[in-house]
Each structure stands twice: as structure tokens, then as C-alpha cells.
Chains A and B, each alone.
Chain A
Amino acid sequence: MRFLSLTLEKYGLIDSRTLSFPESPGLVVIHGPNEAGKSTSLEAISDFLYGLPANTARGGVFGYDGIRLSATLALADGTSLSLKRRKGRIRTLTDADGEAVDEAVLTRILGSTDRLRFQSLFGLDHLSLRSGGEHLLAADGDIGRLILEAGGGLRSLVEIIDGLGVQASGLFDTRKKADRLFYIGLTAFEAADRAVKDGVMTREAFEQARKHQKDAQDRVAELRLEQQRLRQETLHLERLVRVVPSIQELDGVAAELTAFAGLRPLGEDFAGACEAALKALTLAEEGLAEAEARSRTVQAKIDAIVPPQALLDAEAAIRDAGEKAVHVGKARADRANREAELAELDRKLEAVRAAVGLGPDAELAALAPPPDAIALAQKLASQGIERRGKIAGLAEERARVNERLEAIGERQEKRRAAGTHEPFGIGEADFADLARLTASVETRDRQAAKLKSEIEAKLGLQGFKSIDELAAWSCPGAAVIQAEIDRRNAIEIERIRILDRIATETEKHGNAAAEILRLAAGGEVPSALAIGQARAARDRIWNEIKSRYLSPDGAGIAARPLPDRLADADQKQAHTKLADGLADRKSSEADRVAALDLAQRQKSAAATAQGALTEQRTGLDGQLTAAIEAWRLAWPEATLRVPDLGRLKTLSEERIALLAQHAGWQALADEAETQKAEIAPRLAALSQAEARLDLPSTPSLAERIAAAIKGIKLHDDAYADYRQDEIALDDLRLRTLGIGKAQDELAGAEQAWLAQWEPAMRALGLGETAAPESANEIATQWAAAAGLLVSFQNIRKRLSRMDEDEDALLALVRSIAPTLDFPLPEDAAAAARMLMDRLEDARKAQIGRESLILQRRELAAEGAEKKRRADEAAAAVEALCAEGACERPALIQLAARCRERSAVTARLAAIGEEIVKLGDGLSVERLREDWGNRDLVEIKAGLLQLASEGIELDGRIEAALAERDNHTRELAELSASAGVNAAVAERERATAEMHGVLERYIETVLAEDLLRAAMDRVREQRKDPLIIRAGALFAAATAGAFAGVETDIDDKGNPVVAGRRANGERVPVAIMSDGVRDQLFLSFRIASIEQYCRAAEPLPFIADDLLVHFDDDRGVAALELLAELGRTTQVLAFTHHRHLRDDALPLAEQNRAAIIDL
């Protein structure tokens, strides 16, 4: 398949473009600068063949809807196709009329070569070429890799396959390795499995543990019962030990109560009431005395305090003086700062005074100009300074412009005198290619003359006087003649075959006849026919005899004479013998019968065949004669001149070639004439230029053209300078006018300014002739002085207020002093502070006295209350004396006796309660019964015995409990889940991971096996033819420096390639230069493509700036290779390098390449 044309519409940056490719040659060099759409065209080929990708960027400018890629393709079978491709998902292919076309039209051509494979095999750029060469080096010429890489960029496949081995090794191997994934899983599995086995609780283990636990529990219960019994016994004895002493004490106290039999019965609380009443009376009397003493003390304190009344009366004035003293104190501290500020301001104003010429004591505030006047003076001064600078600048520029005008004017005058103020009129382009074209015309003339003489010589040889006679001669074409030859040959061949067969059949006939004779020589043959005939004869004779002997009348027999009857008998016997003999011999001579039969059939068949073949031969003779006659009638002129068809065919072919040669000569001659007509005006122009430039005459056209071009260039350069200076002159004149106008404007502005300047200076207190710079300085100083003066006045006012405050304080202090009975300091502030301190003391004394007066009032009320209480206590004591029938002094003893009796009664009750309590709530009577007046020592001895037994029992219980706890714990541990399920889950997890690893391992190692085996097989299949062809291409690419490539085995046993120099030297890939390696790689790629194209529809090879880094020689050699490939398939070589395009020119001239400029 080859592209005849390719049209891009709304594709990438291209609105519309059509590339037309020639039918031949195969190599097309497409040259275009960068951005000419080269890469776009390149991609368009793939997009046309395989469809536009959904995410193509080629619709970025014109959108996707308008994209159309059209192409006309010529196929290997001679047909052509015109198709158009749009962007879309389905049915994107149409014919030239827009009718949808099945994609199969293209896929039939492309076969199973998809886009990726097409691009990797049929596309090559300099980067791929270079990296291919580098990989060739890295692989040290490994044939397998070379075939992969050159055959379609499968370089990464080798790395991928190597990677598979590494991957597989990381997954599994029979050798254990800690970081190998399978063994990581296996280790986890084994750990989990152990955990499961260790953790599983069987039913037997559980039942056993449960039985142990139950037994221990029963034992503990039994001991607990025993312990309980012991405890009860111990408690009983302990109770007796506790209560027996109390019972004995109870009996003793009961005896004491008899001593109070004579005491008058009084209430239970009588003793307490007496003691309380007497105690209350004593307390009341003591309280009354203490209140009276405190009242007296307070009165003494009141009398001792006398506050100074004069100070208290002057309190308002003293507080006022105190506040003023605070202000005065702060002012005194601040005064030094303010005075320093005044001095600083005065120093700053010195500069103003100096600027306006005033003495140090002059009052500036009065002399200061108003702010508006200062601002106006500053503005006018600034304008004046700026304008005067501009006026000076314009004057300088005017001088410079005048100088340039004069200089340029002089140059232009000289150019006018030399005539270079006008263009030459004849350009370099008029002579471009003139020498080559002239040479080409001459070459064509020579070629035409040579061709013409060759044609005339050939005409003479053929016996024609002129080319017209040859053209007019009626002669069939070579194909027609060949067809006739073939037809006659076919008849002749058939005739010869028939003759051969006739001879064969004749020979068969003769052989069969001889065989029959040989077989017949052995007597009559007992064939089925002969036996049948003999038996028929025997039967006929027998029937005749039988009819005679068996006739009804019997007359026949009787009438027949004996000899006849004997003859009948003999005849019958002879025939019977013959028939039986033949029948008997049938089996013994079966072979002879069969051979005879066969020979007879062969003879018959040969005779039949002879007849049929003879007829056929006669028919063929007729056909041949008829064909010769028909040919003669159809081509009488040709038959007359050359009867022999072979010679006629040769002559016919030569005639066609001669006519084509003549047409070529005619075209050459016409072209030469056309070119002459084209170059004639350009030669005339050359002569004209030489005359104008006054050039010396030289015979060489190239030298003439070079001299003319040089002269014209000098003239045109001078003219260009003239034009440039003319433009400069115009610019300078314009500038002069501009300068004048600006100067006028500035002069007017100066006048207006002067009118404002004089009053402004007066307002500033300066003369009207004051310079703007100095006036501006003074105005600036005045502007600064205004702020300083305001600050100066503010500080002065503040100092004055300080003095006033001092005076007011002094006056106030002096007004207070006469009312006081103590002296004050001279300093008013100190006096004020003393007054404040004294006033504070007076206020404190006054408050203390008022507080004591209040206290005295409260003490008086308290004394009265205490007197009332003492009276009430005395009355209560008297009442108790009456109840006890005694005087106040005896009341105390009566109360004591009553209290003693109550105490004994209480002790009796308490001991009774104690006994019940100690006796665990049992009654005293029950306890007396339990005691039974036993000896306490005996009871304690029993207790000791029980304690000893208890200790021993506790030990046994502890042991039993420990045993029970152990068994319970064992059971609990068994029953707890103990992570068995987690271990099972972990084991399954490890299993799943091992399975996953093994799946990947098997997949990986088998894939590696497959890929390596496939590579080996493909290498073996392709190696030999590829290396032979690539070697031839390599020799061509290196212009004979190498004779080819050869194979070898490297140190590792891998088959590798190496170059072989013309002198037989072997050059390994490792020591080849980069360029040579690239060429080796290119040779293999081209050989691969040729292999492809032999097996399938050839597809175009697309080289994208392939030779960009080749030097000239290598570039030419590589172009040779591409031209070689162009014999097999179309080669589209895109380049933006002009030198590569030029390198292709010689190939183009040999019609081995075409060049397209974008």
C-alpha cells in the first residue's frame, strides 16, 4: 500500500492541505521547516489508517466536527482506494463521495497490524534510532534483542522478562528465604497452626478439669462444715468467759444498795437540781461584778481623749492645700523639661533667622509671611527652575540636529552623483539557477543528440527507413504474439503427446498379439468360451443321437447302419472327451486362460486407442493449419515481413521500446527548447546588468553571474543606505520644527511667570530680582518656622501657669496658719503636706472617742441584766432548801447522798445490760444456767483446746481452697476462648496469602517460560534471512567500509552479531562508533520491514527527521538505504533540515527519490 495523496482538513493547526506523492519512486523526502505541519502530517497518517483517538488534541483549534483526513491509496494488486476519515465512535470511514465504508476495507490491508505495531515497526525517528543503537551496545549485539528491537521496538520486553524472574524469585522457590513471600506466609501459617493446636480444648480435657474442680469444691464444703461446728463451740465458751465475771460483780453491787435504806426518797434529779441551782447562783454573782468593773474602765478612756478642734474646723482648706501641693510638686518636676524644649526650638529657629537676615533676638512670629505667600513662592520657583532647564536642553538639541543635517546632506549629494539614489532594477533572483539551468539545457541537448543517433541506428538494423515507417507498420503486440505462440505450442505439445501415445498403443498392440500367439501355441485354451462351445457341440451330437434312438417308432435306429451308429458313438465320445478334457484343464491352466484373456483385451484396447488417437492427431493437424492461416489473414503485413513468430515477438517488443525511446527523445528535445525559451530573457538581463555595471567580459557564465550579482548587491546596498538617510533627513527636519515650536512656547511661559514672580518675592520680603533657587530655599525655611513658633508659644504659656499655681498655694497656706497652735515650714508645698498629716491624726482621735462613748452605753444595759439573773438564782436555791427540809449550807450534803444512791442503782442496771450484751442477747438467768457455777479456768482451758483445733482446720481449708481455685482457674482457662478462633482466622489468612502468592508465582514463571521460548523460536526462524539481508544493507550503508555482518557466540553462549570489514576483520558491536551502530540498527530495521512486506501488504515506512544527527556522508548512505527500501515499500522521510533535502537531490535526479517541499 502506498499513499498517492493525503489531505488534511481542520486538523491541528492546518485548515486545509493536500500532499501528493508520486507513483514512483518509493522514497519521498518531505521537507518543511519547523511548524510547517510536518509532525501533524505524520500523525495524520496513523489517524487516517486507524481512526482518530477519542482524546486527540488535533481538534483544539478548529473543533472536532470539521476534522477530515482523506487519502488515495495504491495497493499492491494494482487497485486504488480513495477514503476519507472523520472523528467519531462508529462509521468514521467514508468513500470520496461521503458514503460510509466498512472499516474492513482498511483492516484487510493492515491485517492484524494495529496502530501500536504500525508505529513501532513502520515509524522511526532519530531518538528511536539512537536509542536502538545504544541498546544494541548494551546488549552487546545479542541477536535475540536485536531482532526484537529492530523488528518493532520490543526492547523493553527483554527487561520485562528479566523482571519476571526477579518477581518469581521473590514469590516462591524451594529454598527457604526469610523475605520470600511464600515463606513469610508459611511462617505465619505455622505459628497460627501451633497456636490453634495449643489452644484447642477437647471434650476429654474439659470433663477431666471439671471433675477435678468439683472434687475440690466438695472437699472445701466438708471442711467448712467442720469449721462451723468448732466455731459454735468456741463461741459458747467465749461467752461464758465474758459473762461470768459480770454476774459475780452484779451480785456484789446488789449488796451495796442496802446502806441507803434510811435516806428520804426524793426525785431522781434532786441532786442534779441542787448542784445546778447553786452553780447558777455563783455564776450570776460573778458576772454582775465583772460588768461593773468594765463600765468603769471605759469611762476612764473617754475622759483621756481630747481631739484638736482648730484643725478639724480648717479641714476643707487643708485638703484644698494638699491637692494644690500635689500639682505644684508635679509642675516643679516638669519645669526643667519644658525649658530644655524652649532652648531646642530656639536653636532651630536660628536657621530661619539666618536665612531671612534677622538677628538672634528678632521676633520671628511677627515677621513671618502668610502661608499662601510661602506656597506661591515655592511653586513659582519650582516652575522657573524647570523651565530654564528645558530651554537650555532645547538649544543644545537644536545644535546637534543642525550638525547631523549637514553631514547627511553631504552624503546624499555624493550618492546622487554616483547614481545610487535609484534601485538597480535587476535582482539576484533573476540569475538564480541560471547556470544550472543552462548546463541542464546543454546536457539535455547532448542527451537528445545521443538518443537520436541510437534510434536511427536501431531503425536501420530493423530495416525501417524512418520512425514514421516503423510507427505505421501494423504489428501485433508482444502479448498477442506470445498468446499465438502459446496457442500453437499448446497444439504442438498436444500433437506430440498424441503421437507418443499412438506409439505406445502400437507397442502395446504388438506385445498383446505376440502374447496371444505364445499362449495359443500350447493347444486350445480351456477358456470358458471354448468349454462352452465344446459342450454345446457334444450336446448337439448327443441330442441328434438321442432323438434317433428314442424315436417312438424306433425306426430310426433300426434303419441306421452300424458304421453310422459306430461313427455316432465315436463322434459322441470324441466330443464328450474334448468337452470334459477342456473342463478338466480349466483349473490346471487357469493362469494361461487369464493371461490369454488379458492379452486379448489389451490387444483390443490398444487397437481401439490407436484409432481414437489417430483421429485426434488428424484433428490437431487441422487446428494448427487453421491457426497459421488465421494468423496470416489477421496480420498479413507482419507475417510477410517476419513469418517466424519468435522473431516477430522480439521485433514487436523492440518496436515498442524504440517508439518509447523516440518519444523520450522528443520529450527531451521539447523540454530543452522550453528551457532555452525560459532562460533567454534572463541571459539578456545579465548582459544588460554587465553593461550598466561596466563589468569586464569573461567566458564563464558562472563567473559572469557572480560578478553581476556582486555588482548589483553593492549598488542595492548603497541605494538602501540612500533611502535610509532620506528617511533620517525627514525625521531631523521634523525635529527642527518641533524644537522651534517648543522654544517659542517656553519663552511665552517665561514672560507670564515673571509677571507673577515680582509680587510673590515682595510678599516674601525679598527683592524682585531674587533668583528662584534662593527664593525657594527661603520659602522652604519660612514654611518650617511656622510650626516651631506655635510650639514655642505653647511651652511658654505652660510655664506661666506653673508660676500661678505656686502663688495660689502659698496664699492658701498663709491663710490657714494663724488658726493653728503649731508652726508650719516656709515652703508652701511642705507646709501643705504637714497640714494634711496633722488633720489625719485629729480625725482618728475623734473617731476613737465616739466609739468609746457608744461602748459605755452598752455596758450599762448589760449590768442591769446581770443583776436580774442573780436575783432569780437566789430564789431557786431557796425553793430547793424548802423541798429537802434543810438550810442552804446542808443542801450540798443532801444532794451528795442522793447522788451516791442513784449511782449504785445505775451500776446494777448497767451490769445487767452488759451481761446480756456479752451473752449474745441471752438473759442473765439463761447465762447463769449455762455457767452452772463452773470454774472460769476450766472454761478457758476448753477454749484453748478449741483454738488449737481451729488452727489446724484452717490450714486444711486453705489447702482445699487453693486446690479448688487451681482447678477452677484451669477450667476457666480451658473455657476461655484463648484466641483459638483468632489463630484459626490468622491461619486462614496465611493460607489465603500463600495461595495468592502461588497463583502469582505460577502465572509469572509460566509467562516467563512462554516469552523466552517464543523469543527463542522467533529468533531461530528469523535469524538467518534477517542477518544476510541486514548484512547486505549494512555494507551499502557504510559505503563498503563493512562487507556485512556475521554471527558468533559470546562468552555467555548467546548468539551475537558483529560487523565484518572489507578486509575480513571482525568488529564487535562494543567497539563500533555510535554512527556505525546506528546504521547497523537501521539495516536490521529495514531488513525486518522487507520481511514484513514480503509476507503481507506493504505499508509505508515513515522516517521522522531520522538522519538529523548524521554527518553528510552517513546521511547520504542512509538515504541510499531508504531508497533501497523504497523498492519494497513507500518511504516517507520527513525532515526540516535543508542539507538532507539537498542530499536527496542526486537520488531525485536518478529517479530514485522524490522531494516535496511543504
Chain B
Amino acid sequence: MRFRFIHAADLHLDSPLLGLTRKSENYAQRIDDASRRAFDNLVGLAIEEECRLVVIAGDVFDGQWRDYRTGQFFADRMRQLREAGIRVVMIAGNHDAENRFASRLELSSNVTVLSSKRPETVRLDEIETAIHGQSFPQRDVAANIALDYPSPIPGLFNIGLLHTSCTGREGHAGYAPCTVEQLANHGYQYWALGHVHAREVVSAAPHIVFPGNLQGRSVRETGAKGVTLVTVEAGAVTAIDHRPLDVIRWAVEELDVSAIEDRTGLLPAIRSRIEAAYTAADGRGLALRLKLTGTTPLHAGLVTESPELREEIETLAAGIADGIWLEKLEIGTSPPALATGIDPTIAGNLQETIDGLAAGEWLRERLAPRLAEIRTKLPAGARADEILARLEAEGPARARILAQALLQIGQR
């Protein structure tokens, strides 16, 4: 018996892409349905590869998202899979459990959503496969639910479907914890995990896999996003392939500008780097964070003219391709180090004074009331906590860098 199935997780349908500013008039059209188009790619892949099964390890929807059209969209694509004779077995993840409509969708007959009350098994005798799993009954599942998963059914290919943080992953809530050893010893041939958005083959014998999410949603989710295409022969995994299905690619590019002597050399180097990133994105839209690093005499100019440079880079990117967004330009350069020692010039005095003020609480005391002002003006839903935390963490250092750069500029 030979068949293929797709292992996907964390679709987060209709979850918006964060941090992008408008670049062009068709901005919204390009990005607003990125997660849907990525899911369409999944459906297309399943049909094209003649898959018999699609397993989804949770978080099809976002927790707070209420638009029922998202559910309709998902149900519609499930019907497409039914017409192609493809079964779908899925579990609800923490976000689905939180969602108001996810559990009440009317899905086509090819779809099985495993119970949230206890572990459940679905037998697909036509492909000699059993899928075991349990949906999240609520958002917070602190118990190791995998312990209660049924024993493997002898003679069948056993897949464990689990939404988990496993042994813990940075940036992900620690839900349904378990250990790799526990899963490996359970006796299943394949553990289809979800929840962690970065793709990871946790174990190869047996296969324990996080496929990563389907479409990156912010600069924290860079690289190719998609699903794992699994080939099973005679009850054993013979191949697993990661298939990128995302339509917008997130990337962080660091460019060391130490060797660049003047501004005329800078843009060609940036262009080259963006072109390389765009080529790596293989024709997809590219949301790029560009970080300039290195020790350079250009530092002060880069810091003080960062908005203008950003515009130049955006123009340059528009010349490369239509679908490139500069998510952020980070100036992480540093000026050439001065010799240590006393600098009795006024500039030296100012520099030393600025460093002294920035090092202590002086600057934070001035930051606090400004943050309080900002907090009153930021509306709910504008991710106020995130930006305020960032301003608090990075504001003083950035202000010091800007002040030093302006001091440098002021000497010219």
C-alpha cells in the first residue's frame, strides 16, 4: 500500500500580516487574503499530488476572529477536497478553541474533527491508516494529553495528531506539554504536531514533525512556510518533503556596510541584497526587514537620514518588483571607534555628557511621562502594549544613538 498525505497546522485563516505600511495602491489586494491563497495552494497541492488524506494539527482559525465568512471559506475548500476524494482529519488548537464559530461549522462529510472530550481514533481502512488525536476543549490546556492517546493499532499506519508546545518553544505558549521520548515511545509511526510556527523535524525515527505555519504573519515568522508532504509505503514513511505554499515571504536581511566607503556605493549593495532575497522568495511577495550593520563613517548620516534612506530603498525595491515591502529599516551600524582617552573638545564633552545621561535613569524618567501620554492616545486593537514595550526597551538607546549621530553631523 502506498499513499501520500499532507500534514499542515496553524493556518490562522484571515489572520492579518502585521507591520507592513502601504507601499502602493494595490497594497491591500496583495496581502489581505494571503492566508486564503496559501490555503488554496494547499488544496491544489493535495489534488495535484493525489493525496488521500490531509491532517491538520490545530489552529485553523484565529482566536478572536469573528467573521463567519472565514469559516465558510474553509468549509468551501473542504468540499473541494471531498470532490477529489480526499479525507481530512483535524483537531482544534488553542486558537480554534477560543474561536466562537470554529466548533459549529457545518463541514462536508470527508472532514472529521476529533473530539475534545477524550482522545479519538479514526480508521481509514482504504489506506490502512489510523489517526489518533484530541482537540483542545479550551484555550489553556496545561495537561499532557498525549499520555491518554490510544495505543497504536497493529497492522495500520498510526498517526498521532497533537497540538502542543512539546518541550517548550520560545515565543509559544506552553500548551499540552510532552516530551520527545514520550511521543517516540508511544508506538505511532508519525506524530503530526502543530502550534509551533517554525518548521522542525523533532525526530526522524519515528517521525515527529512540526510543519510550521502556512503563511508567515510578521517578521518573526521568516522563511519558507507551508506543509509537510508525507509518502507512506507498506506502513512506513519513505519520504517527507517540505512544500512552501506561502504567498508572501517574510525575510530579515543583514547587510554589513563596513566596506562601503560612501553613500553612492550603498544603494547598489542594498539593491543586490534585495534582489537576492526576492530571488530566494521565488516570485512571491516579499516583506523584508533590512538591517544595516558594521562599523562605518557613514553611521551618523544613516541614523539621521534614516526616513529618507527608507524612501530611497522603497523606490529601489519598487524598481525590482511590484511585490516587495520594506517592513522596517534598522540602522544597526556603529561609528568608527575613537581612541580612548580624554577628549577635551566641546564635542567630546557633549558626547561624554550624553553617554552619562543615557546610561542612568535620567532618560527613563523623561521617557515615562511621554509613554503615558501615548498610551492615552492609542486605540484598542492598535497593539498598544507591544509598541509601548518596544519604546520602553529601545527608546533610550535609540535616542542616544540619534543624539550622538546628530552631534557628529553638527560638527560638519
A residues whose Cβ falls under 8 Å from a Cβ of B:
54-55, 104, 107-108, 110-114, 116-117, 120-121, 147-148, 151-157, 160-161, 164, 172, 174, 182, 186, 189-190, 193, 199-203, 205-206, 974-978, 980-982, 984-996, 998-1000, 1002-1007, 1009-1011, 1013-1015, 1017-1018, 1021-1022, 1088, 1091-1092, 1094-1096
Q: Does B31 have its Cβ within 8 Å of any Cβ on chain A? A: yes
The one of B328, B344, B377, B396 that contacts A186, using a Cβ cutoff of 8 Å: B377
B28 to A1002, Cβ gap below 8 A?
A: no
A986 to B411, Cβ gap below 8 A?
A: no
B358 to A985, Cβ gap below 8 A?
A: no
Q: Does B357 have its Cβ within 8 Å of any Cβ on chain A? A: yes
B399 to A1018, Cβ gap below 8 A?
A: no
B396-409: contact bitstring with A at CB < 8 Å (1 yes, 0 no)? 10111011001111
B367 to A975, Cβ gap below 8 A?
A: no
Measured between beta carbons, the chain A residues less than 8 angstroms from B373 are 174
- Among residues of A, the one whose C-beta sits closest to the C-beta of B353 is A1014
| Minimal beta-carbon separation of A157 from chain B (angstroms) | 3
| Chain B 330-371 interface residues, beta-carbon cutoff 8 Å to A | 336, 338-350, 353-354, 357-358, 362-363, 366-367, 370-371
Q: What are 23 A-B contacts defined by CB distance under 8 Å?
A: A111-B342, A111-B344, A113-B343, A120-B347, A153-B411, A154-B347, A154-B411, A160-B410, A174-B376, A186-B379, A189-B382, A193-B379, A193-B381, A201-B69, A202-B100, A203-B71, A977-B33, A977-B69, A980-B67, A989-B21, A1002-B398, A1006-B399, A1007-B406
- Among residues of A, the one whose C-beta sits closest to the C-beta of B304 is A160
| Minimal beta-carbon separation of A1059 from chain B (angstroms) | 22
Measured between beta carbons, the chain B residues less than 8 angstroms from A199 are 67
A156 to B409, Cβ gap below 8 A?
A: yes
Measured between beta carbons, the chain A residues less than 8 angstroms from B32 are 981-982, 984-985
B122-140: contact bitstring with A at CB < 8 Å (1 yes, 0 no)? 0000000000000000000
Binds A, one of B12-20, B43-51, B184-192, B208-216: B12-20
A55→B262 CA distance, assembly (Å): 10
A990→B22 CA distance, assembly (Å): 8
A438→B357 CA distance, assembly (Å): 68
B382 to A1006, Cβ gap below 8 A?
A: no
B395 to A1002, Cβ gap below 8 A?
A: yes
A117-B345, A982-B32, A1003-B402 given; A110·B100 CB < 8 A: no
Number of A-B contacts (CB under 8 A): 244
A121 to B345, Cβ gap below 8 A?
A: yes
| Minimal beta-carbon separation of A450 from chain B (angstroms) | 46
A152→B343 CA distance, assembly (Å): 12
B345 to A160, Cβ gap below 8 A?
A: no
The one of A995, A1013, A1095 that contacts B383, using a Cβ cutoff of 8 Å: A995
| Minimal beta-carbon separation of B219 from chain A (angstroms) | 11
Measured between beta carbons, the chain B residues less than 8 angstroms from A1010 are 354, 357-358, 363, 399-400, 403
A981→B15 CA distance, assembly (Å): 9
A988 to B20, Cβ gap below 8 A?
A: yes
A978→B395 CA distance, assembly (Å): 39
- Among residues of A, the one whose C-beta sits closest to the C-beta of B18 is A988
Q: Does B182 have its Cβ within 8 Å of any Cβ on chain A? A: no
Q: Is the interface of A mostly helix, strand, loop or mixed?
A: helix
Measured between beta carbons, the chain B residues less than 8 angstroms from A990 are 382
B391 to A201, Cβ gap below 8 A?
A: no
- Having A993-B22, A996-B328, A1010-B399, one finds 13 other A-B pairs with CB under 8 Å, namely A113-B348, A120-B347, A154-B407, A189-B381, A202-B66, A976-B69, A989-B21, A994-B387, A995-B383, A1006-B366, A1014-B403, A1088-B346, A1096-B342
Q: Does B29 have its Cβ within 8 Å of any Cβ on chain A? A: yes
Residue among A199, A1003, A1010 with most chain B CB within 10 A? A1010
A638→B354 CA distance, assembly (Å): 63
Measured between beta carbons, the chain B residues less than 8 angstroms from A203 are 68, 71, 100-101, 104
- Among residues of B, the one whose C-beta sits closest to the C-beta of A153 is B411
- Among residues of B, the one whose C-beta sits closest to the C-beta of A1017 is B353
A190→B377 CA distance, assembly (Å): 12
A154 to B378, Cβ gap below 8 A?
A: no
B69 to A992, Cβ gap below 8 A?
A: no
- Among residues of B, the one whose C-beta sits closest to the C-beta of A1010 is B403
Measured between beta carbons, the chain A residues less than 8 angstroms from B20 are 988-989, 992
Q: Does B412 have its Cβ within 8 Å of any Cβ on chain A? A: yes
| Minimal beta-carbon separation of B368 from chain A (angstroms) | 11
Measured between beta carbons, the chain B residues less than 8 angstroms from A156 are 409-410, 412
A189 to B379, Cβ gap below 8 A?
A: yes
A975 to B398, Cβ gap below 8 A?
A: no
Measured between beta carbons, the chain B residues less than 8 angstroms from A182 are 377
A954→B72 CA distance, assembly (Å): 36
| Minimal beta-carbon separation of B314 from chain A (angstroms) | 13
A1002 to B357, Cβ gap below 8 A?
A: no
A205-B68, A992-B19 given; A112·B348 CB < 8 A: yes
A980-B69, A981-B33, A1015-B350 given; A114·B406 CB < 8 A: no
Q: Which 8 A-B pairs have the closest CB atoms?
A: A157-B410, A1006-B399, A151-B346, A1095-B344, A112-B343, A107-B339, A112-B338, A1014-B353
A999 to B406, Cβ gap below 8 A?
A: no
Measured between beta carbons, the chain A residues less than 8 angstroms from B383 are 991, 995
| Minimal beta-carbon separation of A1006 from chain B (angstroms) | 3
B387 to A998, Cβ gap below 8 A?
A: yes
B411 to A152, Cβ gap below 8 A?
A: yes
Q: Does B117 have its Cβ within 8 Å of any Cβ on chain A? A: no
Residue among B20, B33, B381, B409 with most chain A CB within 10 A? B381
B387 to A981, Cβ gap below 8 A?
A: no
A121-B345, A190-B379 given; A111·B363 CB < 8 A: no
- Among residues of A, the one whose C-beta sits closest to the C-beta of B328 is A996
- Among residues of B, the one whose C-beta sits closest to the C-beta of A993 is B21
Measured between beta carbons, the chain B residues less than 8 angstroms from A113 are 343, 345, 348
A110-B339, A201-B67, A1018-B349 given; A992·B21 CB < 8 A: yes
A202→B102 CA distance, assembly (Å): 11
| Minimal beta-carbon separation of A810 from chain B (angstroms) | 90
A1092 to B345, Cβ gap below 8 A?
A: yes
Measured between beta carbons, the chain B residues less than 8 angstroms from A104 are 339
| Minimal beta-carbon separation of B38 from chain A (angstroms) | 13
A160→B403 CA distance, assembly (Å): 10
Q: Does B283 have its Cβ within 8 Å of any Cβ on chain A? A: no
| Minimal beta-carbon separation of A973 from chain B (angstroms) | 11
Measured between beta carbons, the chain A residues less than 8 angstroms from B328 are 996
A156-B412, A981-B14, A982-B32 given; A114·B338 CB < 8 A: yes
A190→B402 CA distance, assembly (Å): 32
Q: Does B311 have its Cβ within 8 Å of any Cβ on chain A? A: no
A980→B73 CA distance, assembly (Å): 14
Measured between beta carbons, the chain A residues less than 8 angstroms from B407 are 154, 157, 1011
Q: Does B390 have its Cβ within 8 Å of any Cβ on chain A? A: yes
Measured between beta carbons, the chain B residues less than 8 angstroms from A202 are 66-68, 100-101
A999 to B398, Cβ gap below 8 A?
A: yes
B406 to A1011, Cβ gap below 8 A?
A: yes
Residue among B22, B346, B354 with most chain A CB within 10 A? B346
B357 to A1013, Cβ gap below 8 A?
A: yes
B23-61: contact bitstring with A at CB < 8 Å (1 yes, 0 no)? 000011101110000000000000000000000000000
Measured between beta carbons, the chain A residues less than 8 angstroms from B201 are none
| Minimal beta-carbon separation of B30 from chain A (angstroms) | 9
B252-291: contact bitstring with A at CB < 8 Å (1 yes, 0 no)? 0000000001100000000000000000000000000000
| Minimal beta-carbon separation of A994 from chain B (angstroms) | 6
| Minimal beta-carbon separation of A1018 from chain B (angstroms) | 5
A987→B338 CA distance, assembly (Å): 45
| Minimal beta-carbon separation of A848 from chain B (angstroms) | 82
A112→B350 CA distance, assembly (Å): 13
A111 to B341, Cβ gap below 8 A?
A: yes
B17 to A988, Cβ gap below 8 A?
A: yes
A985 to B31, Cβ gap below 8 A?
A: yes
B363 to A1006, Cβ gap below 8 A?
A: yes
The one of A54, A978, A1091 that contacts B344, using a Cβ cutoff of 8 Å: A1091
| Minimal beta-carbon separation of A663 from chain B (angstroms) | 41
Q: Does B307 have its Cβ within 8 Å of any Cβ on chain A? A: yes
